[in-house]
Amino acid sequence: MTQRAEGAAARLPLAQSPEMSQALAELRAARAAGRLERTDLPRLAEWAAEAFLARYHADGGYLAEAIALLCEMATLDDAALAAPGVRGLFAFLVERLSDSFDPRYCALYDRLFAQVVDFCRRLPGGAALDQALRRFGLHSETELLARKARLQAPPAARAWERERLRKALLLSRVTLGADVAVTSPCLDKAKRAFPAAEMVLLAPAGTAALFRGDPRVRVRAVPYDRGGDLLARLNAWLDVLAAVDDELAGLAPEEYLVIDPDSRLTQLGIFPVVADESRYLFFESRGYQVDGVEPISALAAHWLEGALGPGPLAAPRVALAAEDLAAGRAWRARWAGAAPLVVVNLGVGGNERKRLGDAFERALLERLLAAGWRVLLAKGVGPEETARAEALAAALAAQGRAVADAATGDPGGAALVAWQGPLGAYAGLIAASDLYVGYDSAGQHIAAALGVPVIDIFVDRRAPMIAKRWRPTGPGPVEVVLADGPEAALAQVMRAARRLGPL
């Protein structure tokens, strides 16, 4: 098992860069003069992020001025001007560090984000953030890092009073796929460890559809805008804190427990939610390692053994509402009957690096149809994914194939139906299908947890650990396709479909 040493973040040596100092001074001067150029800022943000990482890789130095530059950009009053700074912090740094699953980068992230928080709390828009942090005795970047370091010791199985524990709070990972892969095993283990306790999941409202069929789980909605500006993302913690305070009101410390599975709601553990750290368990999923164990859900299960005691290993689970399951079965029976049904979702959440392109996607649908599958093509989320799916359906219709859109009524005898709807209904259709095919996204994890065979297409190979960590797990078979070009990937998918499907 790998755990990083306590205080590692604080020990990163401070680095200097005349070029970064000059860039920061020039940004401040341009802002003061009102002559910031929108076209220059994306390049500046990317340069600052790359320079920060390059310096760390060169000598382990921490280039604080690069983070200061990105913070100043990300908090500009004009949202359009601020966007490159936000992207520099999250897409170029936070997400890249997280996706590496390298324990060394956990300390670098802590140092980086503690600086971000310390910068933002001193802004006029950060006054409430500052006040809330002071409530926990956290007045500085150093104190934020010291608190985070205290969470790094491997959790020892504690003598939890099973009868006395009345409530377990679990913090969402915010994205649906991560909530299935990581948060749901935590729910699974906590339910068995504390059979008399209420389980409360603090999560974005849409997540509730995945657990509505479990009478022991209550989802309390807390907002988090993954596309929001920097202060909005940090201030989301205030809503989480208010929800935690409300849920724990009147409970003694021994009557509650908070489990944080590396949640974005706490910015990966940087923000506290309870003063008594003995009632808070933090799973640092980005750095936790067990020899011979790769999927993040399995790593979570091992961590939970140490945190909550031995027993059957926890696993990803979803509990759909009975009406969603029934609706999925009825829709399948009405449309596909006994024909094999595959759900295909080619959405990528706005990350084009996860795609193999239009030609591959059209060929995939053509090959599945030619093999005798009925294809339910999920339109995805957002106007771009919807338009792309509709264009694929239109291209197939132009070839003379029987294509329908579920939004227009009864699909009749169509071989392919384009579909879009609520998460619960979508998950119900997945549960009623024979196979799920798609790029790396939430649908694979839902399908795997439901026991539906999965073909998961990984395209972005820049971070090799992503495919290993985010491999879906569940009671059914899972085939991971590491895409090495469109043609090879298509051949792999079709071979897997023949192995996993009923044809």
Residue 29: band (very low, low, confident or very high) from pLDDT cuts 50, 70, 90? very high
Secondary structure element (H or E) that encloses residue 325, with its range: helix 322-335
pLDDT band at 214 (very low <50, low <70, confident <90, very high): very high
Q: Where exactly does CATH 3.40.50.2000 map onto the chain?
A: 167-308, 322-500
Question: Residue 3: what pLDDT?
Answer: 46
Are the beta carbons of 33 and 81 closer than 8 angstroms?
no
Cα–Cα distance measured from residue 304 to residue 286, given in angstroms and rounded to the nearest whole number: 15
C-alpha dist (Å) from residue 348 to 54, 266, 408, 457: 28, 25, 25, 11
> Which tens digit of pLDDT belongs to each residue from 42-101?
999 999 999 999 999 999 999 999 999 999 999 999 999 999 999 999 999 999 999 999
Whether pLDDT at 1 is above 70: no
Q: Over pLDDT 70: what percentage of the chain?
A: 95
Q: What pLDDT, on the 0 to 100 scale, is given for residue 267?
A: 97
CA 330 to the chain's CA centroid: 31
- Residue 5 in this model has a pLDDT that exceeds 50: no
* CATH C-level class of 167-308: alpha beta
pTM greater than 0.95 (yes/no): no
Predicted confidence at residue 155, as pLDDT, reads: 56
Residue spans of beta strands (DSSP E) within 352-453: 374-378, 403-405, 416-419, 435-439
Contact 314, 300 (CB under 8 A): yes
Q: Cα dihedral sign for 263, 201, 151, 472? A: negative
Residues 496 and 290: their CA atoms lie apart, in Å, by 29
Contact 69, 27 (CB under 8 A): yes
> Does residue 7 register a pLDDT over 80?
no
pLDDT at 113 over 90: yes
The CATH homologous superfamily to which domain 322-500 belongs is Glycogen Phosphorylase B; (3.40.50.2000)
Q: Is residue 186 over pLDDT 60?
A: yes
In sequence order, what DSSP letters do the residues of 97-143 get, joined into one string? HHHHT-HHHHHHHHHHHHHHHHHHHTSGGGHHHHHHHHHTT--SHHH
Q: By CB neighbour count within 10 A (0-12 exposed, 13-18 middle, 19+ buried), where does 170 fall?
A: buried
**Token pair of 137 as six digits:** 């005795």
Query: For the residues 456-485, what does the mean pLDDT come to?
Result: 88
The pLDDT tens digits for 138-179 are: 999 999 999 999 986 655 556 656 778 999 999 999 999 999
pLDDT tens for each residue of 433-470: 999 999 988 999 999 999 999 999 998 777 678 899 99
> Which tens digits make up the pLDDT trace of 338-391?
899 999 999 877 777 788 889 999 999 999 999 999 999 999 888 888 999 999
Count the neighbouring beta carbons within 10 Å of the beta carbon of residue 363.
Answer: 18
Q: What are phi and psi of 94, to 5 degrees?
A: -60, -50
Over range 211-231, report the average pLDDT: 94
Q: With beta carbons less than 8 A apart as the criterion, state whether 169 and 258 touch.
A: yes
Query: CA 208 to CA 221: how far, in whole Å?
Result: 8
Is 6 a residue whose pLDDT tops 50? no
Torsion from C-alpha of 502, 393, 382, 44, nearest 10 degrees: 100
| Euclidean distance between CA atoms 236 and 224, whole angstroms | 6
Q: How far, in Å, CA of 186 to CA of 336, rounded?
A: 36
Query: Distance between CA atoms of 479 and 271, rounded to whole angstroms?
Result: 37
